[in-house]
Amino acid sequence: MKKKRLSPKVALVGNPNCGKTALFNALTGSRQKVANYAGVTVERKEGLFISPAGTKVKLVDLPGTYSLRARSPDEEVTRDVVLGKMEDEAVPDAIICVADATNLRLNLRLVLEMKKLGLPIILALNMMDEAEKLGMAVDASELSAALGVPVVPTIAIRKEGIQGLVNQIDRTLPIAEVEGLIPHHGACEWTEPSSHDLRDYHREVEAILAQAISKPARPHTATHRLDKLLLHPAAGLFILFALLFFVFQAVFSWAAWPMDLIDGGIGLLTEAINSLLPDGALKSLIVDGVIAGVGSVVIFLPQILVLFLFIQLLEDSGYMARAAFLLDKMMGGVGLHGRAFIPLLSSFACAVPGIMAARTIENRADRIATIMIAPLMTCSARLPVYTLIIAAFVPNQNVMGGWIGLPGLVMFGLYAAGILSALLVALLLKQTILKGAREPLLMELPAYRLPRPRNVALGLYDRAKAFLTRAGTTIFALMIIVWFLGTFPAAPLDATEPAINYSIAGMIGHALEPILAPIGFNWQIAMALVPGMAAREVAVGVLGTIYALSDSGDALQSSLASVLAQSWSLPTALSLLAWFVFAPQCMATLGVVKRELNSWLWPFIMFFFLTTLAYVASFATFRAATAFFGG
C-alpha cells in the first residue's frame, strides 16, 4: 500500500445477533463516532482503542451479514468495505470475525468465505459463557488448527477475553504490515459463491465442528419455553399488542416531565435574551426564529429517547424478530413485509428515523411501500396540534360509562385513522405501482438475551447525538428561513393587522386561501401551514403569533385554545384535524425519503398523494360536519 497509515484499521464482521456490537463497545468504550458512509445512508460506526503494544487501532463495526453476497444496502457496505470497493474507505488491515459460540454453523460458514479475501483474520469466539452454560465443550486450539486462523474465546458483555483479543490483534497486525507491502495483502480469491460452493462450505464447516466440538450445546430450553408463549398465535399476539400499548403510554407519560423541563428552560432563555437584547431584527431572529423554532423540535428529544429505549431493549433481547414473525402474515394481507413493523413503530416518534429503519427490508418495492406509509403513522410533532384543537373544541367529558374521556377517545381515533389509511395506501400501492410478490422472510430467531445497560446506554447516546445534530444544523437553517419569510417585508407603520400578515409568509397564506377555502381553512390557517413545512408543530406557534399572542408553550396553548374556540367553527377545527392526520408538509421527511431512495420521484409522489389524501379527507370532514352541526 502506498499510503502510510499511522493507525491500522480493523473491521468487525459477523452474523446478526452474534454480539458484535457488544464486543465493539467493550473494545472501544465511549471512544466511538457514528457517521454515514459516503453516498449511502448506512451508519458507519468507528471507534479507537490502544493495544497493549501501544498501537492506536481504528475499529470499524460493519453491518451484520450471513454472507458476502450482499442482499441489502447494509450488507453491501460490509462487502464493499472488506473488498476495498468502498469509496474513501481503505481496505482493513485485519478482520475480526465475531461468532456466537452457541451457534457456530452459520457463523463459521461466513468465516470460511472471509478467508478467501486474503486479509489477516482473527476469530473471536463470542458468548463463551453461554456456551458453557449450555454444556458445550469447544476446543479453541482445535478450531484454530482446523480453520487456519487464530481463535480467541471472548465474552463481550463481561470484558472477559477482551485482553486475549487485543493481544492477538498485536500479534496479527505486524504480520499484516509486512504483508501490507504487497497490495491487497494476500491475493483476494473471493468470488460470489454458487449454490454448489455454499454446499461445499457447509460440508467443510460440519467437518471442522466435528473436530473442535467434543460436547454439543443443549438446546436453549429457556428460549423455547418463552417462545411457546410469546409466539403463540393467540397469547403471543395479545402480549405483542399489550406491549405496544405500554410503549405508547410510556412515550407520552414518561417523557412528560423532561419535556416540561426543556419547555421551562426555553422559556427562561427567551426571557433572558428578551431582557438582554434591545428590540429589533437580531432579537427577533434569535427569539422567534432560532429559540422558538429549534426549541419546538428539541422538546421532542425525551419522547424519541423513550421510544428508542424500548426499540433498543426489544432488539437486544431478541424480541424484535418475534414481532416480525407474529405480524408477517397479517401485514402480508396488505402486501407489507413483517420487518416493516420496526420502521412503522419508530414513525410514531418521528418518520425520519422510521424511514431510515426501513433499510433492513431488502426488496426495493417492499421498502418503498413501507417508506411511503411511514408518514401516515402519527408522529409526535403532530401532537401539539392535536392537543391544541382538542382542548379548544372537544368537551372534557367522560363517555362509555365514565371510563374513557372524550378527548382521549378523539386522540385515539386520530391515531387509528392514520394507521387504517396507511394500511389502505399500502394495499393500493402493492396492487398498482409496486406490484409483485413479497420478498422471502428467512430470518433467524435468536436466543433471548438480557439486554446490557451499557450497550443500551451507548445506543441511546448515539440517537440523542444524531437528533441534536440534526436540530442544530438542518432544522436550525430551516427555522431561519421560516423566520425570514414571516418577518419580511416588515409591516407598515399604520398596520392594523398582525405583522406576519404583511410578510412573505402572509402573502403565501393569502394566495393559498382560495384553494383551502373549500375545506374550511381561513387565511390564518393557510398561513400557519407554510412554516409548518419545516416542522409541523411550528404551526401552533404561528397560529399564536397570528392571533396576536406573545406567550409560548403551555400558556400559549391554553389561551390560544379559547381564542380558537371563539373564532373557528367546529367544522373548520375538525377539518384541520383531518388535515393533520395526513399532514403532507414536512420537509425533513421528504428530504430523508430522497436520501434513502436516492431519487426525487418518490418524495414527489409522497408529497402529491399525501396532499391529495389530506385535501380529500378535510373536504369530506368539513362538508359532513357542516351538514351535521351547521356551519
Q: Which residues bind another protein (CB under 8 A)?
A: 66-67, 69, 71, 102-106, 109, 193-195, 198-199, 202, 206, 216-217, 219, 223-224, 227-228, 231, 233-234, 237, 321, 324-326, 328-330, 338, 363, 365, 436-445
* Nearest to another protein of 159, 199 (CB atom): 199
Alpha carbons 53 and 312: distance in angstroms, whole number: 35
Distance in Å, CB of 66 to another protein, minimum: 5
List the end-to-end C-alpha distance of the chain, in Å, as a whole number: 77
52: cell is: 497493549
* Nearest to another protein of 330, 495 (CB atom): 330
Counted residue by residue, the chain has a size of 631
Q: Evaluate whether 546 touches 563 at the Cβ level (below 8 Å).
A: no
Q: Evaluate whether 153 touches 209 at the Cβ level (below 8 Å).
A: no
Pairing state between β 32-36 and 43-50:
antiparallel
Residue whose C-alpha cell reads 424478530 in the numeric block = 321
Distance in Å, CB of 165 to another protein, minimum: 23
Distance in Å, CB of 447 to another protein, minimum: 8
* Nearest to another protein of 48, 226 (CB atom): 226
* Nearest to another protein of 444, 497 (CB atom): 444
Alpha carbons 326 and 549: distance in angstroms, whole number: 50
Pairing state between β 94-100 and 43-50:
unpaired
How far out from the chain centre does Cα 391 lie?
A: 31
Contacts of 36 (CB under 8 A, 6+ apart): 42, 43, 44
282: cell is: 437580531
Distance in Å, CB of 136 to another protein, minimum: 9
Distance in Å, CB of 356 to another protein, minimum: 23
Q: Is 67 left (phi over 0), alpha (psi -120 to 50) or beta?
A: beta
* Nearest to another protein of 193, 486 (CB atom): 193
93: cell is: 488491515
* Nearest to another protein of 47, 338 (CB atom): 338
Residue whose C-alpha cell reads 396576536 in the numeric block = 548
Q: Evaluate whether 164 touches 150 at the Cβ level (below 8 Å).
A: no
Alpha carbons 303 and 419: distance in angstroms, whole number: 20
* Nearest to another protein of 93, 316 (CB atom): 316
* Nearest to another protein of 61, 113 (CB atom): 113
Distance in Å, CB of 431 to another protein, minimum: 16
* Nearest to another protein of 44, 438 (CB atom): 438
Query: What number of CA atoms fall less than 13 Å from residue 613's CA on the CB side?
Result: 24
Distance in Å, CB of 329 to another protein, minimum: 5
Distance in Å, CB of 39 to another protein, minimum: 24
Contacts of 160 (CB under 8 A, 6+ apart): 128, 129, 154
* Nearest to another protein of 71, 184 (CB atom): 71
Distance in Å, CB of 45 to another protein, minimum: 24
Distance in Å, CB of 339 to another protein, minimum: 11
User: What are φ and ψ of residue 212, in 5° steps?
Assistant: -95, -20
Alpha carbons 522 and 278: distance in angstroms, whole number: 34
